[in-house]
Each structure stands twice: as C-alpha cells, then as structure tokens.
C-alpha cells in the first residue's frame, strides 16, 4: 500500500490526570493514515473523535503515545521554526462555521492570516491576489474578500474556513465535522468541493463526523471510536458490508435511510458493552480479522469472527 503520512501510536489523552475527575478521552489508539487517502473517524459525541483530531494537530499535548507526521514526532520538543513548519503542512477545518471565523476580521484578513504568519506573500498586492485565487478555488468570488463573516450563509462560511486551511498549501487537513452544521443540499456542495480539492492538490484528509452515511461516501478507510478506544477499522465498503464489532453493528443499525419501506422493517440493535464477558486475563487487542480489517477483541472473539467471515 501507499506511503504512511501519519502514524498514531498508542495515543492517550487524559484530562485532569490523576484527579478523581480524570477523563480518559483517548485511551490508547493506534492507526496510520496513508498519503492521498481520506480517513474517516466516526463515533458518538463524547467518544473522543474530536479530541483525537485536536491532539494530532497539537492543539492538546498528548498524555502518552506518539504521533508521527512524515516520520517526525508532532509532540516532541520543538523550536519555533519546527512548529511553524509542521503547522504549514497540517491544517484544520472546524465544525462550526459561525464560531470559527473571527467576526471582526474581513474575509481577506481571515484567509491571509496563515500567509502572513508563514511569510508566503511579499506585498499587499500579491496577498490580495492569492486570497482571490483561494476564494475562487472554493467557489466564492473576489467581491467577497472585503466582507465580514456575518454577511455569509453557513455553507459560504464553511467555504471560507476551507479557503483559510488551503492558504498555506497544506498536505494534510483535519476536518472536524465540517458539514454537520449545514443543510443537506449544502452538505453535498461542501463534500464535493473537498473531494475535488483532494484530487487537484493531492491532499490527505482526516474526516471526523458522526453522520455515517456521509463518512462512507467520502472516506477510503473508516475507524469507529467508542469511549476513547478504536473498536474497528476497515476500508469504507468493507465496514458497511461486514461490520464485525457489535458496536459498529449497533451504530449502523441506528441510521435512518431515506427509504420508507426499509425503515418499516429496520430493527435497531442496541449495544451493551457487558455482552463481551471478557475474562480477567484475556488480552483485548486490535486484531486483523481479514486483510485491512481490524477489530478490538479478545482471542476468543477473534477466532469466532474469523470463523464467521469464512
């Protein structure tokens, strides 16, 4: 397979560590993201998927574990210039297009902020020209540069957020629920835009969402998170056709589809973590059931799943 761009190794993120209020938001997860692919991360709110994205981009310091970007550790001590270099390669698109744009800045300055910080433009003329180019890339036009965020609709704001992320020519973009605040028809526009940009610029995405149907559509591989742990990881089609972990099955069975006849017969499978009956010295590990399809399970469950697949 392709070259690894990002390696997450046994990453842990505990908040209020050591106190009684300790929260294990991420509890030892590992996965790789390959260059040029879209990796989808799904799960319910509070499962740690956004924390994972934010920790990868160093908005949080990790409690334990490692994130390697192109072989370089993200969380190791770094000089300012090294951090800057990394920040140029990795960018983020945030969930809420209303909260993630500074209401007092013009769109021109919002998008150009990264250009200024990284010294990518020489003068005001070039700066403006670059911003106009970016606006056109995301389907807006140059008149929009001198406006303020409140003058835009949700979908347009998310496009501004995308333009800002693209400004510094990143290789890797973390999109944290970029479409969940948008209308259905606008969601499709933004998803198509992200896909077109990926093809054009060879971008790699980490796409975080709770809307499984959209994630399946955009992702090459998908990881499912539950309470800070990655419970299943598989190619997108495989995950939907042959979900193996009971939590994934439960999550898939809860999605309503735009098909009334199917809806009348859909049975939701609730997930109860107690059903696993793990023994005390059973090792719960991430195991590869079929090539590329990993499940968090015990040795016994692993054998059962293997039998079930064949």
Among 17, 22, 44, 116, binds another protein (CB under 8 A): 44
Size of the site for another protein (CB under 8 A): 40
Distances (CA, A) of 54 to 91, 119, 162, 174, 206: 11, 25, 17, 9, 11
| Residue placing its CB nearer to another protein in the complex, 242 or 250 | 250
> In this chain, which stretch among 7-15, 98-106, 183-191, 299-307 interacts with another protein, using CB under 8 A?
183-191
Q: How far is the CB of 185 from another protein (least distance, A)?
A: 4
If one asks whether residue 284 binds another protein (CB under 8 A), the answer comes out as no
DSSP secondary structure letter of residue 37: -
CB 53 within 8 A of CB 95: no
- Of the candidates 124, 281, 51, the one whose C-alpha atom is nearest the C-alpha of residue 41 is 51
- Using DSSP bridges, classify how beta strands 293-297 and 285-290 pair: parallel, antiparallel or unpaired: antiparallel
Instruction: Give yes or no for residue 272 binding another protein (CB under 8 A).
Output: no
45 sits near another protein (criterion: CB under 8 A): yes
Beta pairing partners, 173: 91, 205
Q: How far is the CB of 217 from another protein (least distance, A)?
A: 4
In this chain, which stretch among 26-34, 59-67, 122-130, 264-272 interacts with another protein, using CB under 8 A? 264-272
Q: Which of 85, 126, 146, 263 binds another protein (CB under 8 A)?
A: 263
Which of 57, 230 has the CB closer to another protein? 230
Question: Under the criterion CB under 8 A, does residue 62 sit at the interface with another protein?
Answer: no
Binding piece for another protein, criterion CB under 8 A, among 23-31, 52-60, 167-175, 182-190: 182-190
Q: Which residues, other chains included, contact 231 with Cβ-Cβ below 8 Å and sequence gap of 6+?
A: 224, 225, 245, 247, 248, 295, 296
Task: Using the minimum distance from each CB to another protein, give the nearer residue, 12 or 147.
Answer: 147
For the bound state, the minimum distance from the C-beta of residue 184 to another protein, rounded and expressed in Å, comes to: 5
CB of 154 to another protein, least distance (A): 8
Provide the 10 A C-beta neighbour count for residue 146.
12
Residue 219 C-beta: closest distance to another protein, Å:
11
Nearest alpha carbon to residue 138 among 165, 118, 117: 165
- Per-residue contact string for residues 63-102; x = within reach of another protein by CB under 8 A: ----------------------------------------
**Interface with another protein (CB under 8 A), residue from 186, 198, 278, 282:** 186
Residues 190-249 binding another protein (CB under 8 A) are: 191-192, 195, 210-214, 216-217, 237, 240
Structure tokens at 175: 């999109």
Contacts of 153 (CB under 8 A, 6+ apart): 186
Distance, CA of 278 to CA of 36 (rounded, Å): 38
Q: Find out whether 91 and 100 touch, Cβ atoms under 8 Å.
A: no
Integer angstrom CA distances of residue 38 from 134, 161, 218: 22, 19, 7
Instruction: Report which of 40, 7, 48, 43 is spatially closest to residue 24, judged by C-alpha positions.
Output: 48
Please give the residue ranges that form the binding site for another protein (CB under 8 A).
Answer: 44-45, 153-155, 183-189, 191-192, 195, 210-214, 216-217, 237, 240, 250-251, 254-263, 266, 268, 270-271
């Amino acid at each position: 397979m392709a070259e690894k761009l990002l390696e997450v190794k046994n990453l842990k993120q505990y908040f209020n560590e050591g106190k009684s209020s300790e929260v294990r938001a991420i509890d030892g997860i590992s996965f790789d993201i390959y260059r040029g692919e879209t990796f989808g991360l799904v799960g319910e709110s509070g499962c740690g998927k956004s924390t994972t994205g934010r920790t990868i981009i160093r908005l949080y310091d990790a409690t334990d574990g490692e994130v390697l970007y192109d072989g370089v550790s993200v969380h190791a001590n770094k000089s300012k210039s090294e951090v800057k270099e990394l920040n140029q390669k990795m960018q983020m698109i945030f969930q809420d297009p209303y909260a993630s744009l500074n209401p007092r800045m013009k769109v021109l300055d919002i998008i150009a902020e990264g250009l200024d910080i990284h010294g990518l433009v020489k003068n005001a003329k070039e700066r403006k020209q670059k911003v106009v180019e970016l606006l056109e890339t995301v389907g807006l036009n140059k008149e929009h540069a001198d406006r303020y965020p409140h003058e835009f609709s949700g979908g347009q704001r998310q496009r501004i957020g995308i333009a800002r992320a693209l400004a510094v020519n990143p290789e890797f973009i973390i999109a944290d629920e970029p479409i969940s605040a948008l209308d259905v028809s606008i969601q499709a526009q933004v998803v198509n835009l992200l896909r077109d940009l990926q093809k054009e610029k060879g971008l790699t995405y980490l796409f975080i969402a709770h809307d499984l149907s959209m994630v399946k559509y955009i992702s090459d591989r998908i990881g499912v998170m539950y309470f800070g742990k990655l419970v299943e990881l598989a190619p997108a089609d495989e995950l939907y056709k042959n979900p193996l972990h009971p939590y994934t099955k439960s999550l898939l069975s809860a999605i309503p589809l735009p098909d009334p006849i199917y809806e009348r017969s859909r049975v939701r499978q609730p997930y109860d973590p107690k059903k696993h009956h793990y023994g005390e010295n059973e090792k719960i590990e991430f195991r590869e059931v079929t090539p590329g399809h990993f499940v968090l399970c015990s040795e016994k469950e692993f054998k059962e799943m293997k039998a079930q697949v064949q």
